[in-house]
Every structure is written in C-alpha cells, then in structure tokens.
Amino acid sequence: MEKEAKAYLRIKNFVAPFIGLAVNITAHGTENIVPDGKLILVSNHRSDMDPFILSYTFPRFISWIAAEYTFRIPLFKDLAKIAGGIPMSVDGKISMASIKMIQQVFKRGDVLGIFPEGHDYMVKNDFSAPMVKFHEGFAAFSIRNKVDILPTVIIPLEESYSDIPIPPIVRSFMGMPKEVCDIKQRAIYKKVRVIYGEKVDHQNYLSGSLEENMKALSNEVRSRMSAMLTGQYAEA
C-alpha cells in the first residue's frame, strides 16, 4: 500500500492549496490525533467536500471507505483507486476483497476513514437538520479488529447551496441509486471548523454479544459527535 500512500500524498499536496483558498478551515483537537498505529476516523457527512476538508487537516494517510457507485464516476474513480479508496455497497454489504483491504489497513497500522451516515444526510437534503441515523459497520470494524475510534465533526460556519452539476439522468446512467439521482442540492463550504475528539477505546466493547456491542459503540460515538457539534466550538 506504500504506492497508494504516496499517491494520496501527491493528490493531497496538489489539492490542498485550492482547498485552502476556497475554504477558511480551522481545526481543533488535533492533539487527539495519534501519530501512528491503527485507527478509525469517523465523521459526519453533509457535503461531497468532506473527505477533502478532513484530509486537508489530518496529518496522516487515510484509506477512505466510499460508496461503491462513486467508483464509477469518471476521474473520481481513478483518484480513489490510486489513493487507496475502499468500495462499500450503500446497503452496508462489503465484498471479501474490500474486507481484505480494510484488514491490510489495520495490519499496516494505518487509518481507515468512514462516514457512518453514508449518503443519507445528503439524500435528505436538509442542511439545517441534525445527523441522521448511523450505519453500524464502523463499530463492527472496530470491535473485530480491535481498533480505537476517533470521533470527528465538520461544523459549517459559512456555506452556500447549489444544484448538483450532474443531471439526474446522467447520474442514473452512471449507475447511481435512485435516491442519489434525486438529490437536488449540495452544500459548498466557505468557512468550516473541524473538531477532533478524544479516542473511543474499543476495549470497552469486547465482552458480550457483537450485535449489542456494535449498537452500544455506535451510540457512544454518535453521542460524542452530537455533543461536539453543539459544544464550545460550534459558534462562529
């Protein structure tokens, strides 16, 4: 995966100046980012700009999990593949190949990035709404692979909204799900605040049934993120 990490760094270094010019970004809680070792980065997801915003502020290589259909989008699919992106179905199902990729991320002591809301928040298309229900797959990755979770939030301080530049019929032709084809607007950040919270220790969720522990861990992470969204850094 060394070549993917190098590709990720090249893309990041190329894109970062443009992101920095387009969006006023501040980051808090960076002391909570461990400099090495396996980790799951979890964040809210309200814009297609989110992975770029997080990659801009996060100092380590991130292997992002992305919806499988995004790997059919021209240009993005090539960037995602060369930078170590991992496809996952929108229904939460994941192929054996992707599972092996995730296991390799942890074996190397790298960071897995995931948005537990999936695309559901953007499908809802109400940018003033709170986070939507989490998919619990990230909790399963944490428990099964014994990996801590870093809860993270992106708080928009200034943003605008625009129509999706790709027409619905084209999105459908590209194989996107109907609910994604029906999304009308996207959020465009102008000023954001990224907050990295304290790690959630996976060891507290190893005893008992996997299903119960997944739910408890997911709820704990979501609770912390909700508090971060409304805490001391939430005001402009």
The CATH number given to whatever domain includes residue 26 is 3.40.1130.10
Instruction: Give a yes or no: residue 236 inside a domain.
Output: no
CA distance 100 to 79: 20
Q: How many domains does the chain have?
A: 1
pLDDT above 70: percentage of residues in the chain:
92
Q: pLDDT tens for residues 44-103?
A: 999 999 999 999 999 999 999 988 877 777 666 666 666 678 888 776 667 888 889 999
DSSP string, 6-49: HHHHHHHHHHHHHHHHHSEEEEE-GGGS-SSS-EEEEE---STT
Mean per-residue pLDDT of the chain = 90
Which residue spans within 143-213 are E strands per DSSP?
Answer: 149-163, 185-196
CA distances from 143 to 1, 214, 216 (A): 23, 8, 11
In a domain, 217, yes or no: yes
Within a domain: residue 235?
A: no
3-16 pLDDT, tens digit per residue, is 777 878 888 888 88
pTM score: 0.92
Give the pLDDT band (50/70/90) at residue 236.
low
Measured CA to CA, the distance from residue 176 to residue 146 in angstroms comes to 33
Res 12: pLDDT: 86
Residue 43 lies in a domain: yes
Whether 122 maps to a domain, the answer reads yes
Q: Is 63 helix (H, G, I), strand (E, B) or coil?
A: strand
Q: Is 1 among the domain residues?
A: yes
The reply to whether 192 falls in a domain is yes
| 213 inside domain | yes
Name 40's bridge partners: 112, 149
> In terms of residue numbers, what domain contains 133?
1-230
Strands of the sheet with 24-28, listed across from one edge = 24-28, 185-196, 149-163, 39-43, 111-114, 62-67, 86-88
- pLDDT of 98: 86
Token pair 């507290």 in the structure block, residue: 204
